[in-house]
Structure 1
Amino acid sequence: MALTILIVDDHPSFRSSARRVLEAGGFTVVGEAEDGAGGVAAARDLRPDVVLLDVGLPDADGFDVAGSIKALPDPPDVVIVSSRDSSDFGPLVEASGACGFVSKADLSGEAVAALLP
């Protein structure tokens, strides 16, 4: 059975391309959100296995959103994405409760699956 994933990113073009890449990589995309509040609500309502979460959202810092998602009952795994390099974020990824980071340029189903516990 394919893992389900929610994509949270404010750029429609990235959400669309991420959907194609992740579905080709074996994930089932169950929803999309364009901001942090929508991402937390969708994670709560859709109960995906994984949330692909952008750092730069219009209403919130992605690391704060990751913490909110991880505070949900039976929370999904969270994978942080950004167009920036992981070295720009230091210990913020781990401190947020996310299981890892993938740069948008390197996004693939395999890269996300490799980060999951």
Structure 2
Amino acid sequence: METPTTVLLVDDHPSFRACARAILEADGFEVIGEAEDGRAALEALGTLDPDVVLLDVQLPDMDGFAVLAQLEKGAPPVVLISSRDASDYDGMIRGSGARGFISKAELSGSAIRSLIW
């Protein structure tokens, strides 16, 4: 059996985090941590060792692009998520260092795997 891929889930809406956790765990991922804002995400990355970070673009304290800019070399791959369309971010995704973008409505384990492998 394949080892589950561990995920840090960063989103400010508890209801979305619960839904995303259920989707990801059903697809064989293990959610090892959750954060509700950018500061908490950076702290969690200092203590957890996730295989991938699922990072909301719009957070209350800083946006996902600001979080990405603060990541150290060797940080796990980041997949940006948003309820908005990728086209709303006018190329910012491409230059951000993220592996890609998934609309929250399209979130699935296979969508994440297609970006990180």
The TM tier, using the shorter chain, reads: over 0.9
Match of 2:56 among 54, 57, 74: 54
Match of 1:23 among 25, 38, 48: 25
Structure 2: unaligned runs, 5 residues or longer: none
Percent of pairs with identical residues:
55
Deviating runs (4+, > 2 A) in structure 1? none
Distance 2:73 2:91 in 1: 24
Q: Secondary structure of 1:31's match? A: strand
1:91-106 → structure 2 map (5 Å cutoff) = 91-106=91-106
Shift of 1:61: 1.2
Distance 1:77 1:94 in 2: 14
Distance 1:41 1:109 in 2: 25
1:1-117 → structure 2 map (5 Å cutoff) = 1-69=3-71, 72-117=72-117
Shift of 1:74: 2.2
Q: Secondary structure of 2:34's match? A: strand
Counterpart residue identity of residue 65, structure 2: F
TM (norm. structure 1) is: 0.94
Equivalent pair of 1:53/1:66 in contact (CA under 8 Å): no
Counterpart residue identity of residue 104, structure 1: K
Q: How many residues align?
A: 115
TM (norm. structure 2) is: 0.94
Counterpart residue identity of residue 40, structure 1: L
Shift of 1:2: 1.1
Distance 1:68 1:52 in 2: 16
CA deviations over 1:23-44 (Å, ceiling 9, x no partner) = 1111110000000000011112
Structure 1: unaligned runs, 5 residues or longer: none
